[in-house]
Structure 1
């Protein structure tokens, strides 16, 4: 499907991420780049040196300079990313000097280099806004809190200079509109990525010896995900449901070791299983094995990507009752609990004890995904945004 506004137009998409990896932002970047190419745009995707080389139809993949001493680049702010961003900027400048681009599509902190490149080369840029970075930075590094007004001003300047903003959730879209009301702003949520037909060879119950209810968390193990909270809740439940098992898919070796130690201290090591990362193509296979899917996130304004696949699986979802979840979830499609061990334990217990409630929530969740968070809905929103963007730019 090609659109008139995309005809013969080229986009430089800058994603300051290891690419490709099976985790949130790289998955979203892959989807977006492929769908822009499907609309008829010529897409050059510029990423970090680290990651697996993959083929995306209609997309040329470029990397910043290889830095042998920098690897295992994780999500979120880090000194490693700052160094990589310097080389990413130099590579972006080289690409612009040797190619003709109509737009720059800047993911996350690439907005700052995109704003500079836009001024220098007079190319409109789109801010792909996955979070409010100023707030996220302070949340992660509390010692920076006195500098939050400075970060907010810098981020606000970048939003005001963007020709358009793509936000991953309503709260972030509203924030962008409040700062740059004249620019097109689209809320382009993530979509259900679980493969309903995917099959694997790891039966979690058999492999791990779980005879009772199977609880599942999928995702990284950064602090904001609330794994501490989840393990505390398991501590509340261990005597009441001794046969229940919590399986955690994802996380680095370092994070897994840390939380295994915490599970031991909580006395739930025999009920909590950290199995590491699995290929995203097997996501549906693992989700369907669970009785309850859990998202215990405690910080952030963006909706976790996993939520859309959780909903699409038809398995009952339990999540913290915070804006990071409630801009998508309601009590019609999920069990929402306060972010306390007692409330989470009570929610898990309620869902374990009421299979009919689990079935009702799962059915309603699948209906919501099919209506609002499908691939076809994503494509329509993306096409409309770029059409509106092209119309808003004076030649």
Structure 2
């Protein structure tokens, strides 16, 4: 089948939703479908058989787009819609597949073309307003809630990345086929044993040093302030322990440095800034434990799936954002308070046998529930639901 895909993101960039989109396209083309992707003017092209990329025009004065809601996206999405309409009118498509708010134009185009629409729901749009700290914009949340309902009602199938989003979709439309496809493939590779030694050497960490590792963005919802406060408690009891933080843009890292200095733990926290995706497995191998302090939202962090594959013990907040995937068998879950997180981290440092057992169970979970085979099977099910009763278009654009 020939699919028109709409992605209001900078494709490709090494971050959450673009990673998910890449692996969705890879799975679709592996199953024999072809994809015309309409996306933002930013990002690098990727070479996948069966994929063509069509970029919208770049608005004057806009050179990049950040994560989450922003006014920058308004002109970008308007130009994205123009490009999507042009593609819809010039090709023959069997379905429209839209990511995030791209479903707003996607459901309209699908109706005009007389083909089914699939909404790829990476997050709840109104929830993003609070997750990214826009609590003073109730009108924006109302608008996004209306748009989200419209996209769900206008879709034959909805793909969601976690069970909580399936509940959200079914609360809008009880009969909607909501297929849960976790972002496991896009989370990164598992580490090679021993690869972390070079990381420890580069960071000046001895083999016996207890290391907690965080990887990811520095956005508000990630809970890094909670992590720093927890590390201040850990430092008082285990002054030799270190927290390594991988990620963040330079201004965010500088602000974080000032924050830990104010807490008196500058010597205990190492900021590496953003590192290439291929280096992250070695950082995981260098760690004693992996931490995810996310304190708001309900989406499962992308990093969790790579954490699971690493076989290292995970310390995470005991919130639905994590417990949709993690349990007390596969992670050390703690209340979202500095005291509870600190106790959990110290507990892992002090009990290597328990830490090893938790890490082993996590790796087994990744190998069974979040494998490549499981991902492909779930993608195939979504396609079967989408194309049930659909005849192939008599004419398709050639894939070049």
TM over 0.5: yes
Q: Note if contact 1:132-1:301 (Cα within 8 Å) is conserved in structure 2.
A: no
CA distance 1:79–1:151, change in 2 (3 Å): closer
CA shift for structure 1 position 246: 1.0
Aligned to 1:256: 253
Q: Note if contact 2:195-2:286 (Cα within 8 Å) is conserved in structure 1.
A: no
Q: CA RMSD in A?
A: 1.9
Where do 1:155-166 residues align within 5 Å? 155-166=148-159
CA shift for structure 1 position 390: 1.3
Q: Which fold has the larger relative contact order, with Cα–Cα distance below 8 Å and residues 6 or more apart in sequence?
A: 2
- What SS does the corresponding residue of 1:301 show, helix, strand or coil? coil
Where do 1:56-67 residues align within 5 Å? 56-67=48-59
Aligned to 2:398: none
The CA distance in 2 between the partners of 1:247 and 1:68, in whole Å, is 39
Aligned to 1:278: 275
Aligned to 2:395: none
**Normalization by structure 2: what TM-score?**
0.92
CA shift for structure 1 position 98: 1.0
Aligned to 1:3: none
The CA distance in 2 between the partners of 1:281 and 1:136, in whole Å, is 29
Aligned to 2:43: 51
Deviation per residue, 1:301-349 (Å, 9 max, x gap): 1101100010010000000011000000000000001111111111101
Q: Note if contact 2:103-2:151 (Cα within 8 Å) is conserved in structure 1.
A: yes
CA distance 1:41–1:172, change in 2 (3 Å): same
Aligned to 2:396: none
Q: 2:135 aligns with which of 132, 142, 145?
A: 142
Q: 1:82 aligns with which of 70, 74, 87?
A: 74
The CA distance in 1 between the partners of 2:38 and 2:140, in whole Å, is 30
Aligned to 1:116: 108
The CA distance in 2 between the partners of 1:89 and 1:243, in whole Å, is 54
**Normalization by structure 1: what TM-score?**
0.93
Aligned to 2:161: 168
Q: 1:105 aligns with which of 97, 101, 119?
A: 97
- What SS does the corresponding residue of 1:117 show, helix, strand or coil? helix
Q: 1:205 aligns with which of 181, 200, 204?
A: 200
Aligned to 1:25: 17
Task: Please say which of residues 62-71 and 243-252 is displaced more in the overlay.
Answer: 62-71
Deviation per residue, 1:214-246 (Å, 9 max, x gap): 111111110100011101111111122222111
| Structure 1 residue 180 corresponds to structure 2 residue 173 | yes
Number of equivalences: 387
Q: Note if contact 1:315-1:358 (Cα within 8 Å) is conserved in structure 2.
A: yes
Aligned to 1:4: none
Deviation per residue, 1:16-43 (Å, 9 max, x gap): 1112111111111111111100101011
Gaps of 5+ in 1: 1-8
| Structure 1 residue 341 corresponds to structure 2 residue 334 | no
Q: Note if contact 2:157-2:385 (Cα within 8 Å) is conserved in structure 1.
A: no
- What SS does the corresponding residue of 2:72 show, helix, strand or coil? helix
